Chain A
Amino acid sequence: MQTQEAIRPSITDKPRQNYLTNGYTIKSWLLTKDHKRIAIMYLISVSAFFMMGGLYAAAIRLELLTPASDLLESGTYNKVFTQHGILMIFFFLIPSIPAVLGNFLIPLMIGAKDLALPRINLLSLYIYWIGGGLVLFALMQGGVDTGWTFYAPYSTTFSNTYVMLVGLGIFVNGFSSILTGLNFIVTIHTMRAPGMTWFRLPLFVWAHYATSLVMILGTPVIAITILLLALERAGGIGIFDPAIGGDPILFQHLFWFYSHPAVYIMILPGMGVISELISNFSRKKIFGYEFIAFSSIAIAVFGFLVWGHHMFVSGQSMYAGLVFSFLTMVVAVPSAIKMFNWAATLYKGSISFDTPMLYAIGFLGLFLIGGLTGLFLGAMGLTVHLTDTYFVVAHFHYVMVGGQVIAYLGGIHYWWPKMTGKMYSEFWGKISAMLVFIGFNLTFFPQFILGYIGMPRRYASYPEEMQVLNIFSTAGASVLGVGLVMPLIYLGKSLINGKPAGDNPWMLPGLEWRTQSPPPTENFDVMPVVTWEAYEFGEENGLDLEAARRRDREMASDFQKN
């Protein structure tokens, strides 16, 4: 049995070599095969793309402050929302949790020295940079105005912007996602430490397994679709051109065959993070482990069968619409199972409200709203009224931002002490979590109402009676912006003068907490042997609850002093 000392070696030990101190040259970073260093490089890259996407969002909200199209003219506005979408979806949301947290943590959580294919992992980062570079280059040339969906025939025939270049960037970037998914699947299959059975895996790992399935099965389809689109644009002839008997609806089918499962790439890893946070900050074994694990797989499977619900009003067969509508209701069930299990985990748990847990609780509320409004949009009658309005915009921002971004931030705060060995300011962390929650709701809740009363998406101007709600939304966006910039400051500051976090600051049983912070390059000094179930908080596991409570009290008094 593990002892208290084994779990939490004294902080006063002299610092040993870790992955950050193993080489300081630029070469030692750029040519590293260490999953942790690659994750850190991903962290920096996706943060940069997130900020760029955020600036575009700011431009959108400023333009919509007034009913007239005054700050941006309509053509520019089209480019701005397109680029906001492309940067946020392909270069932030999709790689965010898998490539940063998944990359860093999966080997630690299953007790491996590295991912199974470290060179492929580095390759995926370089592909991501090349794809991102191509898109940035296209943006500097003048950008693209098709919307992130690239609907044909506008994108193939009429748009006079850099569709090819952006398409190429997304095509290239797709392979980064495929290789990451491939690597995770292999790693989870073959690299588990002795005793780490499938049902002892943390749910974070299960969520990433499901995500990886979607990445491998879906991404190649968008790759071929974008390739067909580019060839059609280059050759002046192709299968999406209705003028010669081609089929633009086929483009939408192929596009959404990837892009609907892609929204599960953008939420499943977030659900994985939330499972960790809810269980660990309730200090209680998660309720319904198998149900949460298999609901992730179910989401990945059913997610491939519902793409048609993006096309209810675009001319697909009504009978297909009926089936897609039904399956859309079905795919909501596994998400609901997760929600109920998280709620049941909280019940009678010993809940502590550290910063990551604030994000997790925020997630529960926001994802609930985002998910349920998805059912409104999946209902065939109502969707005719709501399609292409701000209701849709609000719905997917509740899922993508309220779900994935919030989970990502929660995860970053939760594993920050493990990644850097430093503790950030809990006070500022809590303030920022609150600001994000308030700002987010203020931004996007009015958009539900705006959409319901008929404000269409993707227009730079709107009727004057809609201005009040738009002002609320823009005001909320500024609060949200402040909340999102704050972590940059206090997390950055913690690197300079943060308190040493210790190996297991939250007193948790997971394998990643049983190695030093930051972890050594090979992750574990000796190959760990797993003898406990996931989320087991028993004292025999070395997790002295008294010590944990003592720690909570210290934290609370620190908080008051601040």
Chain B
Amino acid sequence: MATHVGEHNDHGHAHAPGLQHQFEDMKQQEESVSIGMWMFLVQEIMFFGGLFTAYLVFRSKYPMAFAVGSNHLDAFWGGLNTLVLIVSSLTMALTVYYAQKGNRNMQVILILLTMFFGAVFLGVKAIEYTDKWNHGTVPITGLNKVVREGHGDSHASKPIEFSIGPKAYAAEAAGGEEHAYVNPRGEFQWNDYDLIEKKVAEQKADPNAYILTTDEKNGYFSYGELDRDKFRDKVRIFYWIYFVMTGLHALHMVVGLGLMTWLGWMAFRNTYSAEYYMPVEMSGLYWHFVDIVWIFLFPLLYLLGRHFIAGGH
């Protein structure tokens, strides 16, 4: 193949497939496109970087509220999504491999697989968001399920212990006491104060121990006593950050699916070969980047507070 192209180059490079007029040869074009894509990813890192900074700031201000909030995210779904995305990265990487081989059928199959996994990811996210809506943990007033009168059906009231799985809330409903759950305006709801009450008691028993941060000592209390409303506000901040981070990530997934649709169509028309496969590789870089963002989001959001349940600080 390579020598074949070499012969054509003798007549001038205008014949190379996909070569744009401003470039002298394919190598220059590939280099340019590649640097451009990496620069784009750098700006993406800075974009998410602002969010991670906000996360870090509030995590270090209110670690207990973040731990409690995190314990109510379902690590099963989060873990499943992590797995789904890692597999989708594999299919994406294989797509690039087969594009370089010029194997049209494998490209199309793998792109469809990648899109399938992307769709599964978004589906799981939809399940999780619905769950938040049902349990009144969406931080924005009016975006939660409106319940005018009701009885102790599942809502955020107890931590999910270590039972990782979709049944976590059901376990709590069986053992927990019955609350009348009413949420007429769709406001943010919070009832789990076990951990913070335990920590407050520990702090009061030993005022010199470093159990609560200074911001927590200022932020959770009214007149020296734990103020549940104030604590709830901090948990609400955690959920706000959760929704912004995962929401923006999901938006990037949607863009990625659009990109894959276009790429699949181009691959179906047999556009890519050993000489011209940069669009596949660049789309792959984007896809891997979105995956990697999730790899950071998963532990920070879902796994963060688990060790507090086991008694760690």
**Complex contact A216–B43 (CB within 8 A):** yes
Docked complex Cα distance between A187 and B28 (Å): 10
Q: Nearest chain A CB to B222's CB is how many angstroms away?
A: 13
Q: Which of B42, B233, B240 has the most CB of A within 10 A?
A: B240
Docked complex Cα distance between A91 and B31 (Å): 32
**Complex contact A114–B241 (CB within 8 A):** no
Residue of A nearest to B215 (CB): A245
User: Can you list, as one digit per residue, whether each of B265-302 has a CB less than 8 Å from chain A (1) or not (0)?
Assistant: 00000000000000000000000000000000000000
Docked complex Cα distance between A244 and B227 (Å): 12
Residue of A nearest to B229 (CB): A244
Residues of chain B from 1 to 57 with CB closer than 8 A to chain A in the complex: 20-24, 28, 31-33, 35-36, 39-40, 42-44, 46-51, 53-54, 57
Chain B contacts for A527, CB-based, 8 A: 24
User: Can you list, as one digit per residue, whether each of A102-114 has a CB less than 8 Å from chain B (1) or not (0)?
Assistant: 0000000000111
**Complex contact A220–B47 (CB within 8 A):** yes
Residue among A117, A231, A244, A522 making CB contact with B32, cutoff 8 Å: A117
Is B237 part of the binding interface, using a Cβ–Cβ cutoff of 8 Å?
A: yes
Q: Nearest chain B CB to A179's CB is how many angstroms away?
A: 9
**Complex contact B141–A247 (CB within 8 A):** no
Is B140 part of the binding interface, using a Cβ–Cβ cutoff of 8 Å?
A: yes
Chain A contacts for B20, CB-based, 8 A: 118
Residue of B nearest to A114 (CB): B22
Docked complex Cα distance between A238 and B33 (Å): 38
Chain A contacts for B234, CB-based, 8 A: 244-245
Is A190 part of the binding interface, using a Cβ–Cβ cutoff of 8 Å?
A: yes
Is A333 part of the binding interface, using a Cβ–Cβ cutoff of 8 Å?
A: no
Given A238-B240, A244-B233, is A216 in contact with B42 using a C-beta cutoff of 8 Å?
Answer: yes
Q: Nearest chain B CB to A32's CB is how many angstroms away?
A: 13
Residue among B36, B47, B241, B244 making CB contact with A116, cutoff 8 Å: B36
Chain A contacts for B53, CB-based, 8 A: 254
Q: Nearest chain B CB to A153's CB is how many angstroms away?
A: 14
Chain B contacts for A178, CB-based, 8 A: 43
Residue among B23, B61, B141, B236 making CB contact with A244, cutoff 8 Å: B236
Q: Is the interface of B mostly helix, strand, loop or mixed?
A: helix
**Complex contact A245–B140 (CB within 8 A):** no
**Complex contact B40–A182 (CB within 8 A):** yes
Chain B contacts for A237, CB-based, 8 A: 139-141, 188, 236, 240
Is B76 part of the binding interface, using a Cβ–Cβ cutoff of 8 Å?
A: no
**Complex contact A228–B28 (CB within 8 A):** no
**Complex contact B54–A250 (CB within 8 A):** yes
Is B79 part of the binding interface, using a Cβ–Cβ cutoff of 8 Å?
A: no
**Complex contact B62–A120 (CB within 8 A):** no
Is A463 part of the binding interface, using a Cβ–Cβ cutoff of 8 Å?
A: no
Residue of B nearest to A187 (CB): B32
Docked complex Cα distance between A555 and B141 (Å): 72
User: Can you list, as one digit per residue, whether each of A80-105 has a CB less than 8 Å from chain B (1) or not (0)?
Assistant: 00000000000000000000000000
Docked complex Cα distance between A245 and B213 (Å): 14
Docked complex Cα distance between A558 and B240 (Å): 69
**Complex contact B140–A235 (CB within 8 A):** yes
Is B77 part of the binding interface, using a Cβ–Cβ cutoff of 8 Å?
A: no
Contacts beyond the supplied A183-B36, A245-B62: 20 A-B pairs with Cβ under 8 Å: A112-B22, A114-B22, A115-B22, A116-B22, A116-B36, A178-B43, A182-B43, A216-B43, A220-B43, A220-B47, A224-B48, A228-B244, A237-B236, A239-B241, A244-B236, A245-B230, A245-B233, A246-B237, A254-B50, A257-B50
The contact sample of 29 A-B pairs, CB cut-off 8 A, is: A112-B22, A113-B22, A114-B21, A117-B33, A118-B20, A120-B36, A182-B36, A182-B39, A190-B32, A190-B35, A191-B28, A216-B43, A220-B43, A221-B46, A224-B47, A224-B49, A224-B50, A228-B244, A236-B141, A237-B140, A237-B141, A239-B58, A239-B241, A244-B234, A245-B62, A245-B215, A245-B219, A245-B234, A254-B50
B-to-A contact residues, CB < 8 Å: 20-24, 28, 31-33, 35-36, 39-40, 42-44, 46-51, 53-54, 57-58, 61-62, 139-141, 188, 215, 219, 230, 233-234, 236-237, 240-241, 244
